[in-house]
A and B are shown apart, each in its own frame.
Chain A
Amino acid sequence: MTHIDEAPRSAKAVAPEQGREKKLPTRDRATVITMVTIPLVLVVLLVWLPALLSVVLSFGKWNGFGDLDTIEWVGLQNYEDIVTIYPPFWPAIQHNLIWLGFLFLIPTVLGMLIAVVLDREMRGSRFYQTAFYMPVVLSVALIGFIWQLFYSRDQGLINDVFGTQVDWYGDPDINLWAVLVATAWRHTGYIMLIYLAGLKAVDASLREAAAVDGAGEVRTFFHVIFPVMRPINMIVVVIVVIESLRAFDIVWVINKGRNGLEVIGALVAQNVIGEATRYGFGSALAVIMMLISSVFITVYLRNVFREERRG
């Protein structure tokens, strides 16, 4: 994070936008075009084109085996079916919302508080930080796997300690919560890390000024530190929303997203690699995910662009 505060951009921004392009010799122009085109083609072909095709396919019925002309176009039928006669849909929405609420209330708040505490120069701060963000390097699927050591009905630690016989991953009434606790183990460290970086940006003199003014610690936090972290807060909101919407790995590794663990991401996959391949139907679910996420992606990009323009 070296920081050289100078602005090559603003210097250039004065020049007419197209001026640069014209000044380049032909060979260099070819180089620039190639340098941009290859990555662009990859991202368009593998991300943007499929996104568009998902929207198109969502208006049809297709088992995916025949040619494109075997697609039967049904208009909004898939969407109608999803909200009316597809049993796992509303539970999935509910679970995704619980996921979101839980991530916000527990690990996000906890991560932020830990960051505020560890931001001070305290003994062992490094060690604590390491402990909290170590789970961040593990995959979510692996975390589901590891937590079996606690959750297993016959051999899990929890049942061993309390002498219970609860099937934490299997019981549809509680498995969502079991999964969320395991997820929180990883999420807290991630949030902590983001806030730690944000807090470093809080000018020490601001805190001192607040301290001199006799502001209490709680007040200092809410009036001085929290406002400075605003851009970070916004990013954290976007991260948490997108992460909750994408939830997939851990439920798939446990039971492929059934039986109390329905989430929307898993429903899409079930319609493609499950017993029944319903591409149109799965695409409609995918488009619903895309629509929800696009709201937050827009918020995020606007924020990034505002920063970019400021240079």
Chain B
Amino acid sequence: MSTQTLPPATEPTPSGEGGTRTPPERAEGGILSRPRGIVVTVIVALLALAWLFPLVWALINSFREYDYTQANGYLSLGGWTTANYEEAWTRGNFGLHLRNSLLVTVPAVLLTLWLSSMVAFVLARFSYRFNLIMLGVFLAANMLPPQALLIPVFRIFREIPLPLFMSDSGLVLNSLWALILVNTAFQMGFCTFVLSNYMKTLPHEIYESAELDGASVWRQYWQLTMPLVRPALAALATLQVAWVYNEFFWATVLIQQGDKLPVTSALNNLRGQFFTDTNLVAAGSIIVALPVLVVFFALQKQFVSGLTLGSTKG
């Protein structure tokens, strides 16, 4: 995911989730009359099938023999095999790259959520004069084109040494640390915004009673607020896992050692390697897509509400 701007708060609505939100009258209506509605529905259904096609096509061909498809063309059926996956896995070194992705994604998402929830808490809980400026500093950072910062970040990372046990290049450049830091810095804006909006919907009284009990600010944050914003954290975590896993630009420019690349940016090298065998491309695509698709289908509700979280306040 590249642009993660979010819809701002529209007018607050009393509507809840999904299907139960509308009164029965609306079920018929919408804005289309019946006959036209049917035509439109058919068009949308066909479009939906067209949208599914690329992934289905990749899935089918990933299980077919190269020789068979070469001899009979891709519009044939047959030549089923799982050999493409074995070959793609070893040739693409996917074990290594997926491990790198994991080592970047998990710490980056945890760090992002932790840091942005702290800022969000302060912004939501107290009204300081700097609140809006602060929000602006984080949000705008989220929207700047990363290319605009590339040269200084690249050069600074090349200057910062790391002990060899942390990075075998001895520098932040070419280490997974670089990616964790950069991803965190960039993603904080979105999370801060969403979380602070969410926290503002918590009733103020709970803090008053917490204060009466003598709870410190830290306890109000960690033991009171964090458990209450768990739905928002879950939604954001799902979204962030997909975004960090999918991040391509920073990994491409900051990691120049092939064996350090996370899987998304490793595609760059694979395209050349798999060039001559489309079935291998298909298998590789499915391997790379699988982790996010699994997350997506397992946590679909979280994913969608994460994307639209900012759009209705809280």
> Which residues of chain A have a CB within 8 Å of any CB of chain B?
1-9, 11-13, 15, 17-18, 20-21, 24, 27-28, 31-32, 35-36, 38-40, 42-51, 53-54, 57, 64, 114, 116-122, 124, 127-128, 130-142, 144-150, 152, 155-157, 160-161, 185, 188-190, 193-194, 196-198, 200-201, 203-204, 207-208, 211, 217, 220-221, 225, 228, 231-232, 235, 238-239, 242-243, 245-246, 248-249, 252-254, 264-265, 268-269, 272-273, 279, 282-283, 286-287, 289-290, 293, 296-297, 300-301, 303-305, 307-309
Residues of chain B with a CB closer than 8 A to A150's CB: 54, 57
Listed residue (B14, B51, B155, B307) with the most chain A CB atoms within 10 angstroms of its CB: B51
- Can you identify 29 A-B contacts, CB atoms within 8 angstroms? A2-B314, A3-B13, A3-B312, A3-B313, A8-B204, A9-B127, A20-B126, A20-B127, A35-B217, A35-B221, A39-B118, A39-B192, A51-B149, A53-B151, A118-B44, A132-B47, A137-B295, A139-B246, A146-B285, A194-B7, A196-B308, A198-B311, A248-B2, A253-B248, A253-B271, A279-B151, A286-B147, A286-B151, A290-B145
Selected contact of B134 from candidates A40, A53, A279, A289, CB within 8 Å: A40
Apart from A1-B16, A142-B289, list 12 A-B contacts with CB within 8 A.
A5-B12, A5-B201, A35-B217, A64-B155, A120-B31, A137-B295, A142-B264, A149-B57, A152-B278, A253-B271, A304-B135, A304-B193
Selected contact of A149 from candidates B17, B278, B313, CB within 8 Å: B278
Q: Are B149 and A47 interface neighbours, CB within 8 A?
A: yes
> Which residues of chain B have a CB within 8 Å of any CB of chain A?
1-3, 5-17, 19, 21-23, 25-27, 29-33, 36-37, 40-41, 44-45, 47-49, 51-52, 54-55, 57-58, 61, 69-70, 73-75, 115-116, 118-119, 121-122, 124, 126-129, 132, 134-141, 143-156, 181-182, 184-186, 188-189, 192-193, 200-204, 216-218, 221, 231, 242, 245-249, 252-253, 256, 264-265, 267-268, 270-271, 277-278, 281-282, 284-285, 288-289, 292-293, 295-296, 300, 303-305, 307-309, 311-314
Expressed in whole angstroms, the Cα–Cα distance for A147 and B303 within the complex equals 24
Expressed in whole angstroms, the Cα–Cα distance for A147 and B73 within the complex equals 18
A288 to chain B, nearest CB (A): 9
Selected contact of B7 from candidates A2, A28, A197, CB within 8 Å: A197
Residues of chain A with a CB closer than 8 A to B186's CB: 46-47
Q: Are B73 and A160 interface neighbours, CB within 8 A?
A: yes
Do most interface residues of chain B lie in helix, strand or loop, or is the interface mixed?
helix
Residues of chain A with a CB closer than 8 A to B277's CB: 155
- Determine the residue in chain B with the shortest Cβ distance to A147: B54
Q: Are B13 and A200 interface neighbours, CB within 8 A?
A: yes
Q: Are B21 and A46 interface neighbours, CB within 8 A?
A: no
Take A149-B54, A203-B13 as given contacts and tell me if A283 and B145 are in contact as well, using a CB distance cutoff of 8 Å.
Answer: no
Residues of chain A with a CB closer than 8 A to B292's CB: 137-139
Take A12-B127, A290-B145, A307-B9 as given contacts and tell me if A4 and B314 are in contact as well, using a CB distance cutoff of 8 Å.
Answer: yes
Do most interface residues of chain A lie in helix, strand or loop, or is the interface mixed?
helix
B265 to chain A, nearest CB (A): 7
Residues of chain A with a CB closer than 8 A to B264's CB: 139, 141-142
A195 to chain B, nearest CB (A): 9
Expressed in whole angstroms, the Cα–Cα distance for A208 and B149 within the complex equals 50
Q: Are A141 and B31 interface neighbours, CB within 8 A?
A: no
Q: Are A6 and B152 interface neighbours, CB within 8 A?
A: no
Residues of chain B with a CB closer than 8 A to A57's CB: 151-152
Q: Are A42 and B188 interface neighbours, CB within 8 A?
A: yes
Selected contact of A193 from candidates B22, B51, B304, CB within 8 Å: B304
Listed residue (A145, A196, A265) with the most chain B CB atoms within 10 angstroms of its CB: A145
Take A50-B153, A117-B40, A128-B48 as given contacts and tell me if A156 and B8 are in contact as well, using a CB distance cutoff of 8 Å.
Answer: no
Expressed in whole angstroms, the Cα–Cα distance for A5 and B200 within the complex equals 10
- Determine the residue in chain B with the shortest Cβ distance to A122: B41
Expressed in whole angstroms, the Cα–Cα distance for A35 and B221 within the complex equals 10
Expressed in whole angstroms, the Cα–Cα distance for A242 and B51 within the complex equals 24
B56 to chain A, nearest CB (A): 10
Take A185-B54, A200-B15 as given contacts and tell me if A308 and B135 are in contact as well, using a CB distance cutoff of 8 Å.
Answer: yes
Take A32-B217, A221-B31, A301-B140 as given contacts and tell me if A46 and B182 are in contact as well, using a CB distance cutoff of 8 Å.
Answer: yes
Across chains A and B, which 3 residue pairs bring their CB atoms closest together, nearest first?
A: A120-B30, A139-B246, A197-B308
Q: Are A1 and B141 interface neighbours, CB within 8 A?
A: no
Q: Are B253 and A273 interface neighbours, CB within 8 A?
A: yes
Q: Are B308 and A114 interface neighbours, CB within 8 A?
A: no
B202 to chain A, nearest CB (A): 7
A243 to chain B, nearest CB (A): 4
- Determine the residue in chain A with the shortest Cβ distance to B14: A3
A77 to chain B, nearest CB (A): 17
Q: Are B3 and A39 interface neighbours, CB within 8 A?
A: no
Take A64-B155, A238-B5 as given contacts and tell me if A39 and B148 are in contact as well, using a CB distance cutoff of 8 Å.
Answer: no
Selected contact of B31 from candidates A40, A225, A265, A296, CB within 8 Å: A225
Q: Are B146 and A208 interface neighbours, CB within 8 A?
A: no
Residues of chain A with a CB closer than 8 A to B29's CB: 120, 207-208, 211
Q: Are A114 and B152 interface neighbours, CB within 8 A?
A: no
B182 to chain A, nearest CB (A): 6
Listed residue (A243, A249, A290) with the most chain B CB atoms within 10 angstroms of its CB: A249
Expressed in whole angstroms, the Cα–Cα distance for A85 and B201 within the complex equals 55
Q: Are A207 and B75 interface neighbours, CB within 8 A?
A: no
